[in-house]
Chain A
């Protein structure tokens, strides 16, 4: 700790008392690889700043650069360009063993030849922490992750969930300034994963450490995060809180990646007071809030979530967005029914209908229906 504090530099010292220094800052970070003579960019310029104590997720499909970005924060990859700062201190050229962040690996990467206790004590021993203090801290952290009494076990003698908690304890025991988690729940089954999500969130609140969480599971990111960076193809597509990411996806990619999303494209027939009117087919009309950049005659892409849409047989009132279509499929999913509807304009929509009453489904397969939603529940996506 002391060496890190001493090395935090004058800039940080000047800002001392100011908790606004971000825990982690990436500034124009690029990672290039040489692959068969060609230069491949895994990360194409990521700038973001993560606040102290924040639960920050990097979400995206495999190959989007999220793991590479995390490995650059940990120090396992050197950025080709750009700067990595931890608490204001430039650590771009600092090796991983001298960085005050710890990582929980996807496959846990526990030391197979060491007991649980030795695994957890590894970092403290390397830092020459006094033996008595090691004993206390390892004991305390094993209690937090609920592994007291299993100190002598070898990793291979434990279940996946237990190994996961050892990995977490091994990183947390060092009181890192930030904890990096690389898809830590990927190998667990659904039940255990959900339990561990709650567990992680609780531990994060308890220890108050900044968590950076890499995942391709949108539910995981939405459940746990304070903020999410949705990544695609080496770039951050959107950086916002879970609610905003879900409700107001900034790009078509985010809309498609997070949850089920319906996309509709059309031409603005009229733009009036921040609202555009689109015609869909002959009878469909869509009202959508738009920014200043959309002019009459411009192309607009509209996204609306399946649970915001109402399905009805009669034509709805004129003040909502309403598009006619044909039911292509009805699926009963317990708490709700899912409809696949082919719209008049050619788009295919998914609609969720809550099973609020015991009544039958609204429409059978092949029926003509109307889909309607409040204009404020739909968003125009900039191209």
Chain B
């Protein structure tokens, strides 16, 4: 009897926590998303599903922009993180853990604070641009802040470690003998990489994409601090609806739409790029 109960007892604390702070708010939000009213007169449940349609039509641009930024940021993090992870896994020798710590070091500083630091560094008359402008190397009206590049750059910077770590773990697991075997079977260094190391590290890239694309697309800090009015992401809209406009149903409808889009996206991604399929393609 005790044996049957023990596993459930183990899951109980975490399960209760999730029910209290995830399931209950979700149900509550789902209910709010179809309500009508305003903050002064109160909200009433009218099952107004048009809230969703309204949210989508009104903020279509921001939805698409978020997806675009998330995609661009993810591609950039892969491009930056893969070589770093590769180098740490295969070339760093005994100092691996030191370099991994360096990659994680920014986490010891608050997310917002790091992003604000970037704003300070990249300001129009800041320590980076001002000297270049004085020297006549840049036009006086040149600016980095309030551009797409600044927001995508900020996203890339902030989520880089989430890409480095899973790729590093995958590369670390690649048996060096398997790489040697490929060279023994006449593969050049490049072929050895494309046919053996890369396919074997793809699961790490997949994990990294999940861990960066989702939070990047829902991010609002980077757009708020580094971007301008033309860079508003869906996260900023949701924040504004809740905290500024006090239009809770609109905010809830937006949140649910974003969540549904993400879930569908992840599902399609996992289906289309299932590890097995990709590995099979790579073996050829």
Q: A and B, one complex?
A: yes
Chain A residues engaging chain B, CB cutoff 8 angstroms = 74, 76, 95-98, 102-103, 105-107, 109-115, 118, 122-123, 126-127, 170-171, 174
In the bound complex, how far is the Cα of B180 from the Cα of A91, in angstroms?
Answer: 18
6 additional contacts (CB under 8 A) given A97-B184, A122-B185, A126-B191 = A76-B180, A76-B184, A109-B175, A111-B178, A122-B195, A170-B181
Interface-centre pick from A123, A126, A127 (highest chain B CB count, 10 A): A126
Q: Could you tell me if B182 and A111 are in contact, using CB atoms closer than 8 angstroms?
A: yes
Shortest beta-carbon distance from B110 to chain A in Å: 40
Q: Could you tell me if B279 and A103 are in contact, using CB atoms closer than 8 angstroms?
A: no
A-B pairs with lowest CB-CB distance, top 9: A123-B185, A109-B177, A109-B181, A126-B186, A113-B279, A114-B283, A96-B183, A118-B283, A97-B183
Q: Knowing A105-B177, A118-B283, A126-B191, say if A111 contacts B184 (CB, 8 Å).
A: no
Q: Could you tell me if A112 and B178 are in contact, using CB atoms closer than 8 angstroms?
A: yes
Q: Knowing A105-B180, A111-B283, A113-B279, say if A126 contacts B175 (CB, 8 Å).
A: no
Shortest beta-carbon distance from B276 to chain A in Å: 9
Q: Could you tell me if B283 and A97 are in contact, using CB atoms closer than 8 angstroms?
A: no
Query: B-side binding surface: helix, strand, loop or mixed?
Result: helix
Q: Knowing A113-B282, A118-B283, A126-B191, say if A97 contacts B186 (CB, 8 Å).
A: yes
Q: Could you tell me if B200 and A74 are in contact, using CB atoms closer than 8 angstroms?
A: no
Shortest beta-carbon distance from B196 to chain A in Å: 6
Contact residue among A95, A107, A112 (Cβ-Cβ distance under 8 Å from B200): A112
Shortest beta-carbon distance from A121 to chain B in Å: 10
Inter-chain contacts of A97 with B (CB < 8 A): 183-188, 192
Residue of A with least CB distance to B177: A109
* B199 lies within 8 A of chain A by Cβ: yes
Q: Could you tell me if A109 and B187 are in contact, using CB atoms closer than 8 angstroms?
A: no
Interface-centre pick from B177, B180, B184 (highest chain A CB count, 10 A): B184
Total chain B interface residues with beta-carbon distance under 8 A? 22
In the bound complex, how far is the Cα of B195 from the Cα of A159, in angstroms?
Answer: 24
In the bound complex, how far is the Cα of B12 from the Cα of A221, in angstroms?
Answer: 59
Contact residue among B175, B180, B186 (Cβ-Cβ distance under 8 Å from A123): B186
Contact residue among A102, A112, A114, A115 (Cβ-Cβ distance under 8 Å from B184): A102
Inter-chain contacts of A105 with B (CB < 8 A): 177, 180-181
In the bound complex, how far is the Cα of B184 from the Cα of A304, in angstroms?
Answer: 43
Inter-chain contacts of A174 with B (CB < 8 A): 185-186
Q: Could you tell me if A109 and B178 are in contact, using CB atoms closer than 8 angstroms?
A: yes
Residue of B with least CB distance to A173: B185
Inter-chain contacts of A102 with B (CB < 8 A): 184-185
Interface-centre pick from A95, A96, A115 (highest chain B CB count, 10 A): A96
Inter-chain contacts of A127 with B (CB < 8 A): 186
Q: Could you tell me if B187 and A111 are in contact, using CB atoms closer than 8 angstroms?
A: no
Residue of B with least CB distance to A114: B283
Q: Could you tell me if A113 and B187 are in contact, using CB atoms closer than 8 angstroms?
A: no
Q: Could you tell me if B186 and A103 are in contact, using CB atoms closer than 8 angstroms?
A: no
Interface-centre pick from B183, B195, B199 (highest chain A CB count, 10 A): B183
Residue of A with least CB distance to B196: A111
Residue of B with least CB distance to A180: B184
Q: Could you tell me if B178 and A95 are in contact, using CB atoms closer than 8 angstroms?
A: no
Inter-chain contacts of A123 with B (CB < 8 A): 185-186
